[in-house]
Amino acid sequence: MIMARRMTLEGAHVKAVFEIMPYPSGLPRNIEQCLNDYGIPLYLSHTVTDIHGKTRLEGITVSKVDENLKPVPGTEQEIACDTLILSVGLIPENELSIDAGVELDPRTRGAVVDENFQTSVPGIFAAGNVLHVHDLVDFVSMEAESLADSAAAYIENGGFAPCGLLVKAGEGIGHTIPQKISGTKDITLSMRPSRQFKDAAVAVSQNGTVIARKKMKKAIPAEMIELSIKKETLSDKGDLEVSIEC
Ligand SMILES: Cc1cc2nc3c(=O)[nH]c(=O)nc-3n(C[C@H](O)[C@H](O)[C@H](O)COP(=O)(O)OP(=O)(O)OC[C@H]3O[C@@H](n4cnc5c(N)ncnc54)[C@H](O)[C@@H]3O)c2cc1C
């Protein structure tokens, strides 16, 4: 959506944006400010199924997709165009993480970190888009400040309390950060819902008891959710599970 606006500002005629999911995967404000403000249509549940042209792009075929994201035969629509921009998901840039040998999380596709933003390699920390993709830079700044405090504590004390409790993504949750905690200090969990919810609540349970809950009018995969948990409500035994209730 941001590229659609940029291309328009540079003088291109952007015919449409096609999204395979039945809901927008970008921020609502970007739908308004990047598409609606410029009269660029957004087609949900659509994908590109063919590309035409030999030495130069001449057009594409777009099809509707069903609930399994498979193109529906008979819904093909040909669109003449000379440029196709594929913007099909951000993932953390992992070259440094892989070279450093840190454990990666298949859900975030970034490093696994504990409550101190420390990776599986002691003394190596990760925050921001190399950890998980952020929609707002404000969250990146806050993570970075916490990381800096942890790095200073690591230098002063040489290590942290063991983080043996897992934070598991339950029903309706795509991923959580951090993935491991000690249960001995205040934590802020960052997460993304795996689909859209209305009038829902995000709940964190430990040892069969809900220890934190936050009501939300809506939850969408494009927007990160943050939830703080005080150490008084945490036990130093028992994994945490985060899920969405609706
Ligand atoms: C198209 C787009 C538009 C956005 N618009 C907004 C917005 O309007 N408002 C907002 O709040 N947020 C916006 N965001 C989100 C915001 O940009 C990110 O959340 C934020 O920039 C992440 O900060 P970061 O420092 O973690 O990563 P980045 O900003 O990605 O910085 C990482 C840096 O590391 C460098 N790097 C990578 N590998 C190496 C290496 N091996 N050695 C040295 N350097 C390396 C990269 O070149 C890059 O400069 C947008 C994101 C995108 C993709």
Question: Any residues with Cβ below 6 Å from ligand 1, and which?
Answer: 2, 90, 93, 95-96, 128-129, 134, 136-137, 140
């298949």: which residue's tokens? Answer: 106
Q: What is the pLDDT of residue 164?
A: 95
Q: Residue 196 to residues 36, 210, 219: CA-CA distances in angstroms?
A: 21, 22, 6
For residue 95, the ligand 1 atom closest to its alpha carbon is 41
Number of helices (H), then strands (E), in the chain: 4, 13
Low-confidence ranges of the chain (pLDDT < 70): none
For residue 3, the ligand 1 atom closest to its alpha carbon is 1
Q: What is the pLDDT of residue 135?
A: 85
Share of the chain above pLDDT 90, in %: 93
